[in-house]
Structure 1
Amino acid sequence: MADPVRVPTDDPLAWLTKLEGVPSALAAARDGVDAMLRDRGMRQTYPEQTGESLLRGAHASAVLEGSTSTIEQVRDGEGDEIARAALRVSTGMLALVPTIGTAPLQAFARLHALAGKGDVDEESLGRPVNAAGAERLAGLGETMLATNQPAILVAALVHAELVTVAPFGSYNGLVARAAERLVLVARGVDPASVVVPEAGHLALRAQYESNLRAYRDGGRQGLHAWILYVTEAVTRAVEFSPLRDPR
């Protein structure tokens, strides 16, 4: 993505909430998540529901990364290497909730290490492939620590940056989608991690891929389109939550 025009502000992302349609789209997406939780009477969620959400997310993320494994294979710990990598990320990601809010670069590195364990050279795990990637990661981390803008907006930026900059030598998509989920959990949108954002993106795959290209190549207009797309994907993600399943 071409560097966006920055408007001087104490919060580096505040200007994005002034873009046409963004405030209402962010509010609608957040309301969709909140409504699902209210539908369940704000009662306690259960570990098995979180586990199922993570499993569904692992499968969807793996498919977006090129896996041909079924969700049943993922559930059984089988499937191709991409699916196994996605499952490793899914299993370990929630331990990084505190880290994503205080040391995001460490969280990104750990997500890549989880994905690449046993498949990527040990010296390459969690390490950017070049100085340009390291610089963009550092800038992203600084932005995350400096902003108090809505979590869905922050998650959208984190996701797109990690995919399009591709700072690691492999599995950037898996890392990006896991980081998006972590931001939504850590910043209070989905504390129990029962929404499945990865499945929302898979359901909208054509739009997902085209809007990532727009983010990478389309400057401010592409960034705007990506943010609006992510709000739609979060709304769709609610439909795949285990909380929607009859109990």
Structure 2
Amino acid sequence: MENALAPPDSDAPATSREQDAVRLLLLIHGAGERPNAFELADPALADAVGVVRSQVRLQKLDFWLRNPDYLADELLTDFEASRELRLLQLAGEILDSEEPEVRRYPMLRHHFGAYEPLDDALAVLRSAGLIARRRRGTVDRVRQHDYYLLKAGEQVAGQIVHDAPAFGYYVDRVALVVALADGLGGTDLKKRQYLQREYAQAARGTRIGPVSTRARARLAQLREQHQTDQDAGDQ
């Protein structure tokens, strides 16, 4: 088994294996970087079009995809640093809607942060020839898992969104997640997510709680502050 299974909370919203498979396919499609020449020399990866390096990175990106309230709160953090109005607007689009409630699928707090068993969903994608996995390390110690999007996976990802436009939601949110994670490896993403107290203080083996109430209050405060600054600038 690639992941050790921990018991979920009985009242936590859950996804099906098929839902997880589609979400992860769209995530790997949107977040993958170009494989290098050495990787493409592997006959099994010859038609690979993207790769997400490390299970840690995949899990951390998936956390923001599954938890829109945390994603919006991080957008607010970036807005405070850059004062880029578009970030405030994007956070508002999420927090002004029911998205943090209806799209939230909480993850377990594991030894190394947010975690959810992904074996079954990834097995669906691998058995269908949509992705490939490679282990890095030694026979005795696997150091890293990398996930490669194959050409067939790219085609299926596009077909899914074409046939079921509702899945375009994930395409849009993956783009936000990738932009938020720009330049950060899996370990850096883990460190950033640990800055959220609800995340860091969750007991191991329990679901990480929401931040939607706090994020909405923060949004209102930043909007008021922005309006005050704008009014002052107009005088």
The bucket for the TM-score relative to the shorter chain is under 0.3
Larger helix percent: 1
Whose radius of gyration is greater, 1 or 2? 2
Could you tell me the TM-score, scaled by structure 2's length?
0.26
